[in-house]
Structure 1
């Protein structure tokens, strides 16, 4: 085998290994460019090294742009869209006021946390339903 063919193959493998060690879907696309030049140089002997490098740069940029355009735009639907938005998971829950709502502010305990609430004037011990969340503050209304 010619040295440039081995070199491009080795570079592709190193880039694929780097992607496996620190995944981020970036080295993969540069590795694809190196693998493409490996195949080209293996199939077409006599291409000058300068043109091989130009082909590597162009193919790597094309692969990265293709990923940016088509690969990242397709978002995956989550089976738990509120997973990291804990306060929004509480909408619809019913709880008892720890502190009555005075001047629009009060507190409620749900599960293992105490939450600030806003709503109409209500006494402590009143059952309330969470109807919305604004900036981490639960908006409640009397339940029932």
Structure 2
């Protein structure tokens, strides 16, 4: 039973080396409007974020959050794409099929299907006599 243990130790060592490589790697990307630049590690951790002054002075400063998220997402996607072959090799998995060339298909955001719950049973409880401040029923003639 020493062979599986050695294999496990070798895999742990390789995983540690890969983790160190990913921690040292840097991947940069910009937002769609080119006003925000994000740099992440190969692990996807944000290490730098730069915002162009034009983004703060522009008429649409409220869109800055969208640009920040866009730049970070783009950088993390680049980091993932770069590290995926190494991760697949470490764990012995086949790489995914290459992405089709050309423009990416447009996805339209759709609202999630509303949850369907069984109808509530009809409660004939009257709340007229309930004092919500004390949880005691009101006196027979009402409070006032």
Shorter-chain TM-score: which interval?
A: under 0.3
Q: Which has the higher contact order (CA 8 A, sep 6+)?
A: 2
Q: TM-score when scaled to structure 2?
A: 0.26
Q: TM-score when scaled to structure 1?
A: 0.26
